[in-house]
Structure 1
Amino acid sequence: MFRPLELYIGLRYTRAKRRNQFISFISTVSIVCITVSVMALITVMSVMNGFDDQLRSRILGAFSDATVAGLPGETVQNWQYAMKVAEANPHVKGAAPYVEIQSFMQAQRSGGAIVRGIDPAQEPKVSDLNTHLISGSFDSLTPRSWNIILGKDLALQLGVNVGDRVTLVVPVLRATPMLGSLPVLRSFKVSGIFEMGMEEYDSGLGLISMSDAEALAGVHDPTGIRLKLDNKDNADAVARELANTLGQVYSVTTWMDSHSNFFSAISMEKKVMFIILSLIILVAVINLISMLMMLVTDKQADIAILRTLGSTPRSIMGMFMVQGVLVGVVGIGFGVIFGSLLSWQLPVIVKWIEHVTGIVFLSPDIYYISEVPSKLDWHDVTWVAVITFAFSLLATLYPAWRASRTQPAQALRYE
């Protein structure tokens, strides 16, 4: 079978290192270092992808992908038309109207919160709030029932549970014949408690029926229409398309407008971690340079003989590059395999460590994400493999170049 001379001799050198056990040891260390570095980088990237995915799902579980609203300070006029246009867009999977009110709540204790009036039949089309109830019923938010569902932390702050009553104070002034203008007060029964795992919603959001919210706010139209899209990353494009279709009397915003800085910070942190851990791979590759330099020194006589037999400097250089690339490829292969397996089973491994040691890494009393998430992204794995291969290839250039500069007469003088 035909094989290039450079590849044939390079592989022979790789297999024939028993004469110099130290070089063989350095070669093994190089493979292990590259494997560990690649495995660490893949695992860290997977954990950061997991946290990003968890935060996105929890934030967007209560916040819509896009929102159609009226002009600032106004409700959505002719909202049935706006909702029909939005649902006709092929990228919109669901739409649901809502009324949002700033309120002050009083029970055993008091606190401020946003009250959102929703339609329980349509809300599951745009959010998964109904799946995060820890007590009570989501269907209890019927018109004129005056029921309310609170976030877990908000309920604790007010000192209430399911079945207790909460008084809502809404800053909508209404004139009375005896006392003049007064804010609207209304007693609600707590019919459910939800837990999203996000401070923003668990401590500052209450849900009531949309008709009850309209009665409290003194309006007849919703505050806006929340939309669920088929792809969250295309939210800006869909928003521009809807804005052009609906006209200037409507405003269309997306989740990127409200949380863009937060997710941009996560993305930047992921890029910085990738760069830092890539430097660890670069350090691991230094062992490869040391191994090749010692191999070049050890094979001076062989190089001289090959030169006298007609091998060109480029051919000599290729022989030693084969060795470095082979070490890099083996290290990358093991690193990708072990890193992928570790990322895949990381939540299970962390739980096992917690069970054995009794140490809780992410306490639910402190962190809203109480489990170490992991999401393996093959795009990241590919980038890690390509960059490590590039480092390994670059590491072979100088030792291989030194080998190609060997002068046969000087190398054979003392042989």
Structure 2
Amino acid sequence: MFKPLVLYIGLRYTRAKRRTRFISFITLTSVLGIALGVTALITVLSVMNGFEAELRERILGMTSHASISGPGGTLGDWRVLEPALSEDKRILGWAPYIEGQAMLSSERRASGAMLRGILPEYEPRVSDVANHMQLGKLGDLAPGQFGIILGAELAAYLGVSSGDKVTVITPQVTATPAGILPRLKRFTVIGTFQVGMFEYDRNLALIQLEDAARLLHMEGEISGLRLKLDDLFNAHRIARDLGPKLPGDYYVTDWTQAHTNFFRAIKTEKRVMFMILLLIVAVAAFNIVSTLVMVVTDKRADIAILRTQGMTPASVMGIFMVLGTVIGAVGTVIGGLGGVLLALNVSEIVHWIESQLSMKFLSADVYYISDLPSKLNWTDVFQITGMAFLLSLLATIYPAWQASRVRPAEELRYE
């Protein structure tokens, strides 16, 4: 039975005396070790959450949450779907597109690219590309003008800017008296965009929907409809519910099918990092074992006297479990507070360090995410602090059990 006396003696042993300064120093290092481990774990996981959220926002800012296509990979009269899409309040917007592979050639270089035909008035409903334009604007894409908007990296590689010409070569062929020739067309660069993802900035080119249909032999057809949903994490269920509501035979896919391996890899990396950093907390927690062993050795005479006064082995064990639990609890609380404060201010701290050192840790010339994002997840905080406290509690069991086995007669024989 737990008694106040056990708590009182356990807390009393946390206060150092002159002859136990070294034990107090070891106790302090145990507390600081747990605190630093918890702080590091919360901060690192928050930064990883921030990177994951930033990547998801950038990827899903350019790709669709869901898409609709026909049995042959194309759609005919896509406007017949608008009434059904309008009725579903979970769908915030939709936009038609035509997509195909092409070769872009300038006077300097040539490069493969993904060619996407869009309607400028519909595209802002499903993507953020309009908010990332460096030159020009989406509204400059007009049918029959054969203008093209390139990703910033693609434009830099081709060595072109606004007003320059590029030749678009498609896999489709044209039969001529001279034989079978690839289909090509000269386009005028009217703008560039940069979303911060190499996949799009280096490989994507936008043209007007009607120009894309004419170039890719898809007159009267589109590749599909891109959808923007109110809850991207519920995209799979929404896509599954939407299929039966559409008037015809259509295929509805969502972003999780296209990018599932990427985000699964991030989650796996996060779990591995959690286990690696948890080892730091475990090492610090098991420092409590050595601390309590030294305390038990120092207090063997006290334990013997308490036993002669009638204290049971269970109560003796409780005293040292209280001492170890206090060490673990204090370290966990300090680490939790430090981790939360650091995670909430890590960007500002990094900026201050960069300003003091006159250097940039994540250079915009090398990395597409030049700031250190952080997203504090309270579930992670509770899991980390709970695991740290549990490890600290487990570390107290063996030394406390050893203390309960002290035999009063042997310890007091020469007193």
The answer to whether 1:385 aligns with 2:385 is yes
In 2, the alpha carbon distance for the partners of 1:136 and 1:221 equals 28
> Is the deviation greater in 140-149 or in 166-175?
166-175
What's the offset of the Cα at 1:82?
3.2
**2:97/2:223 contact within 8 Å kept:** yes
In 2, the alpha carbon distance for the partners of 1:357 and 1:384 equals 32
What's the offset of the Cα at 1:226?
0.8
Matched letter for residue 194 of structure 2: E
In 1, the alpha carbon distance for the partners of 2:83 and 2:64 equals 17
Unmatched runs of 5 consecutive residues or more in structure 2? none
Cα 1:316–1:81 shift into 2, 3 Å: farther
**2:6/2:318 contact within 8 Å kept:** yes
The answer to whether 1:208 aligns with 2:207 is yes
**1:41/1:384 contact within 8 Å kept:** yes
In 1, the alpha carbon distance for the partners of 2:104 and 2:234 equals 38
> Is the deviation greater in 263-272 or in 360-369?
360-369
What's the offset of the Cα at 1:98?
0.9
What's the offset of the Cα at 1:145?
3.1
* 2:65 aligned residue: 65
The answer to whether 1:299 aligns with 2:299 is yes
* 2:196 aligned residue: 197
In 1, the alpha carbon distance for the partners of 2:366 and 2:258 equals 25
> Is the deviation greater in 205-214 or in 31-40?
205-214
What's the offset of the Cα at 1:384?
0.8
Query: 1:12-411 maps to which residues of 2 (within 5 A)?
Result: 12-72=12-72, 74-108=73-107, 109-176=109-176, 178-179=177-178, 181-218=180-217, 219-246=219-246, 249-411=249-411
Deviations 1:181-230 (A, max 9, x none): 54433222211100111111111111112122222223212211111122
Cα 1:314–1:248 shift into 2, 3 Å: farther
1:171 aligned counterpart, secondary structure: strand
What's the offset of the Cα at 1:180?
5.3
**1:86/1:92 contact within 8 Å kept:** yes
In 2, the alpha carbon distance for the partners of 1:86 and 1:413 equals 89
Matched letter for residue 125 of structure 1: R
What's the offset of the Cα at 1:376?
1.6
1:331 aligned counterpart, secondary structure: helix
> Is the deviation greater in 212-221 or in 189-198?
212-221
1:97 aligned counterpart, secondary structure: strand
In 1, the alpha carbon distance for the partners of 2:142 and 2:323 equals 73
**2:16/2:24 contact within 8 Å kept:** no
> Is the deviation greater in 236-245 or in 118-127?
236-245
**1:6/1:318 contact within 8 Å kept:** yes
**1:83/1:225 contact within 8 Å kept:** no
Matched letter for residue 163 of structure 1: G
What's the offset of the Cα at 1:247?
7.7
What's the offset of the Cα at 1:80?
2.2
What's the offset of the Cα at 1:391?
0.5
TM-score between both structures, scaled by the size of structure 1: 0.93
In 1, the alpha carbon distance for the partners of 2:290 and 2:77 equals 74
1:362 aligned counterpart, secondary structure: coil
What's the offset of the Cα at 1:19?
4.1
Matched letter for residue 54 of structure 1: E
Matched letter for residue 89 of structure 1: D
Deviations 1:295-322 (A, max 9, x none): 1111222222222222222222111111
Query: Percentage identity across aligned positions?
Result: 50
What's the offset of the Cα at 1:87?
4.0
> Is the deviation greater in 11-20 or in 29-38?
11-20
**2:77/2:220 contact within 8 Å kept:** no
- State how many pairs are aligned: 412
In 1, the alpha carbon distance for the partners of 2:16 and 2:414 equals 23
**1:17/1:23 contact within 8 Å kept:** no
TM-score between both structures, scaled by the size of structure 2: 0.93
What's the offset of the Cα at 1:132?
0.9
In 2, the alpha carbon distance for the partners of 1:199 and 1:382 equals 36
> Is the deviation greater in 392-401 or in 12-21?
12-21
What's the offset of the Cα at 1:27?
0.8
In 1, the alpha carbon distance for the partners of 2:275 and 2:244 equals 41
1:31 aligned counterpart, secondary structure: helix
In 2, the alpha carbon distance for the partners of 1:154 and 1:411 equals 81
